[in-house]
Amino acid sequence: MGFIKKNYSDGFFNVGDKNGFLPSKSPLEVLPNSYSILQDILDKMPVNIDGKSGYLDHPGKIHDSVEDLPNYFDNVKEESDIMIIQALYRAYCFLASAYTLEPSFQHFRKTGNYGKAKNILPKQISQPFVEAATKLDVYPWLDYHYAYSLGNFKKIDKSGDHKWNNLDMCVRFSGQPDEVGFIMLHVDINQHSPSLVGSVINVLHALKENNHKDSTKFLKENYDTMKLMNTRRKEMWKASRWNHYNDFRIFIMGVKGNEELFGDGVLYQGVWDEPKQFRGQTGAQDDIIPMEDIFSGVIKHYPKNELTKYLMDLRSYRPKCVQQFFKDLEDTVNEFDGDGISDVLLKQKNFDGLCFLLGILEEIYHFRNGHWQFVQKYIMANTKYSKATGGTPIISWLPNQMKAVMNEMKYVISIIENNSLSKETSMIYNDISNSIGKKVDLLDHQLKLIQKKSFSANKVYDLNKKYDLSDNPN
Ligand code: HEM
């Protein structure tokens, strides 16, 4: 058991106040020359390449191209530079998903339903792929950190920032701007993670030292950063049009939980004799909300259900350094007497700090409620296929975690009550305590609707406007 450290690094990611959850250096945009045939396939692969059609636009073409791909297994075995290993892992992740899911994509284009995927990976993909995955100590399937999102961006203007419209993907599936906007917005939000991670670490140190001033200061920093992240998150409605989500969604599906597509799993030829099942890339592998849940105490209200099990299972789909960070964070929070940092703040009579904690919880609520609206629109209003890319039955699961946030909010409101506050924190307290009833009512109303056998996703979505909790600024 260890008190939270300042940094957790694997050479690619460096979780701390300098890089947050982003890589410490920009990822390689292309593979080294020795892998030129693989790079060439990736370049020609997207459905759409600047208005021209790529391999994935034509049934079977990606399979033909893989026939001429050399098996780079021995080369990958020799690699020791983490930047190259990550770029190789990303390359094989994309190729494996394109290769297996292309038939489902073509079927979807024709019928509106996902057809069966191809569930065999030939040696020239599976062997170097598993080798690169083993070197990174991750599963050999498209993930969020090293492959699809955080390790897949390049800046358009190199001196510019990480806003989604200054970012492009190094490797793509659809090639449409909606795919780029969708996943680059995740990177955009994470550009503010250094101050989020830094403030979490600093609050915990300040609480240990019973340092009121610093606890309050860093809780405020965390609250302000969450507000900023929510502002960036709302850009999703602009960055990626909801009715274009299906252009690329099929390619990010996982194997586990999606048996209708993959049957027993995928056979990695020349590696394992049995088919394997790994989960798909999903924003649920992002680190912001899980970190905030552990830190703020929301996690102790997680219901005992399948979503919670799934979220815990997803811990193992993260880089080892992130897993260690979460573990130490959990141990550190549990090391204090009481039931989470709300109780520590109460014991230290830091009511201003508690108000900032309440503000943080409110922002976690907004993140989840806005995100729930993404799911209503991008998925529920868009498709008949009820499984999410991570393999979850989305509709019934997500609201549970929103209830967990509201439970901790109610607890924090109850322990602040009637204590003297500064002008700034009393405004936060009054705003939030006066509006929590509305949030509870909105969710109850939505849950009643979706429990009906047939419901309209648009009606569920429209309720957000009625309660004045709409996320979409347009
Ligand atoms: C159009 C945008 C988005 C859609 C359609 C979407 C969809 C989903 C779906 C279907 C799930 C259910 C679990 C699964 O199967 O993996 C999920 C979970 C999750 N997503 Fe997203 N997502 C979007 C954007 C984001 C963004 C921008 C983030 C954060 C940067 C994010 C973070 C999460 C987290 C943390 C979970 C776990 C559930 C929870 O803790 O409440 N998502 N998402």
- Residue carrying the six token digits 């994935």: 56
Q: Is residue 128 part of a domain?
A: yes
Q: Domain check: are 110 and 211 in the same one?
A: no
Q: Are residues 221 and 296 in the same domain?
A: yes
Pair 146, 205 in one domain: no
- Could you read off the pLDDT of 172-188 as tens digits, one per residue? 999 999 999 999 999 99
Q: What is the pLDDT of residue 175?
A: 93
Ligand 1 atom index nearest CA of 378: 5
Instruction: Return the structure tokens found at 227.
Output: 């507000």
Does ligand 1 lie within 6 Å of residue 439's CB atom? no
CB-ligand 1 contact for 390 (6 Å cutoff): yes
Q: How far apart are CA 459 and CA 243, in angstroms?
A: 17
Is 387's pLDDT higher than 80? Answer: no
Domain end, chosen from 185, 204, 231, is at 185
Give the three-state DSSP class for 169.
strand
Contact assessment for residue 112 and residue 250, using Cβ atoms and an 8 Å cutoff = no
Strand partners, 8: 15
Residue 289 sits in the same domain as residue 357: yes
Co-location of 397 and 446 in the same domain: yes
Residues 314 and 449 in one domain: yes
Q: Are residues 93 and 32 in the same domain?
A: yes
Residue 75 lies in a domain: yes
The answer to whether residue 300 is domain-embedded is: yes
Whether 277 is covered by a domain: the verdict is no
Q: Please report, for the domain that includes residue 286, its CATH number.
A: 1.20.58.480
Residue 145 has a pLDDT of 98
How many angstroms separate the alpha carbon of residue 371 from the centre of ligand 1?
A: 6
Check: CB of residue 77 under 8 Å from CB of residue 135. no
Q: Is the pLDDT of residue 40 over 70?
A: yes
Mean pLDDT for the stretch of residues 285-310: 93
Q: Is residue 60 in some structural domain?
A: yes
Q: Which residue has the tokens 């995100």?
A: 371
My answer on whether 83 and 100 are in the same domain is yes
**Residue 38, in any domain of the structure:** yes
What pLDDT shows up at residue 251?
A: 95
- Residue 380 in contact with ligand 1 by CB distance below 6 A: no
Residue 455 binned pLDDT confidence (cut-offs 50, 70, 90): confident
> 164 and 299, same structural domain?
no
**From CA 270, how far away is CA 289, in angstroms rounded?**
38
Q: Which domain holds residue 227?
A: 193-241+282-466
Residue 203 is assigned to a structural domain of this protein: yes
- Asked whether the predicted pLDDT for residue 342 surpasses 60, the reply is yes
203-234 pLDDT per residue, tens: 999 999 999 999 999 999 999 999 999 999 99
- Ligand 1 midpoint to CA 127 (Å): 31
CA of 35 from ligand 1 middle (Å) equals 34
How far away, in angstroms, is 214 Cα from ligand 1 center? 32
Structural domain count of the chain: 2
For the cut 80, the answer to whether the pLDDT of residue 337 exceeds it is no
Pairing mode of beta strands 8-9, 14-15? antiparallel
Residue with the smallest CA separation from ligand 1 atom 14 is 390
How far is it, in rounded angstroms, from Cα 129 to Cα 364? Answer: 36
* pLDDT of residue 418 exceeding 90: no
Residues 199 and 102 in one domain: no
Alpha carbon separation from 324 to 138, 233, 428 (Å, rounded)? 14, 26, 34
CB 60 within 8 A of CB 118: no
Radius of gyration of the chain from its Cα atoms, rounded to whole angstroms: 23
Instruction: Examine residue 373 and state whether it is found in any structural domain, yes or no.
Output: yes
pLDDT bucket at 460, cuts 50 / 70 / 90: confident
Give the C-alpha separation, 207 to 297, whole Å: 15
Task: Quickly list DSSP for 329-363.
Answer: HHHHHHHSSSSSHHHHHHHTT-HHHHHHHHHHHHH
Q: What is the DSSP letter of 71?
A: -
Determine which residue's CA is closest to atom 2 belonging to ligand 1. Answer: 374
Q: Are residues 366 and 350 in the same domain?
A: yes
Which of 43-52, 75-84, 208-217, 299-308 bottoms out in mean pLDDT, i.e. has the lowest?
299-308
What is the average pLDDT across 47-52?
Answer: 95
What pLDDT band is residue 388 in, cutting at 50, 70 and 90? low
Residues of the chain above pLDDT 90, percent = 81
Which pLDDT belongs to residue 379? Answer: 85
pLDDT in tens, 224-263: 999 999 999 999 999 999 989 888 889 999 999 899 999 9
What are φ and ψ of residue 7, in 5° steps?
-145, 145
Q: 390 C-alpha vs ligand 1 centroid, how far in Å?
A: 9
Mean pLDDT of the chain: 94
Distance 52 CA to ligand 1 centre (A): 31
Is the pLDDT confidence value at 395 over 80? no
Q: Is 365 in the pocket of ligand 1 (CB under 6 A)?
A: no
Residue 13 pLDDT > 70: yes
State pLDDT tens for residues 88-136: 999 999 999 999 999 999 999 999 888 999 999 999 999 999 999 999 9
Give yes or no: residues 379 and 339 share one domain.
yes
* CA pair distance 378, 383, nearest whole angstrom: 8
Has residue 389 got a pLDDT over 70?
no
Percent residues over pLDDT 70 in the chain: 97
Q: Which of 185, 220, 254 is the last residue of a domain?
A: 185
Q: What is the mean pLDDT of residues 366-372?
A: 95
N- to C-terminal Cα distance for the chain? Answer: 48
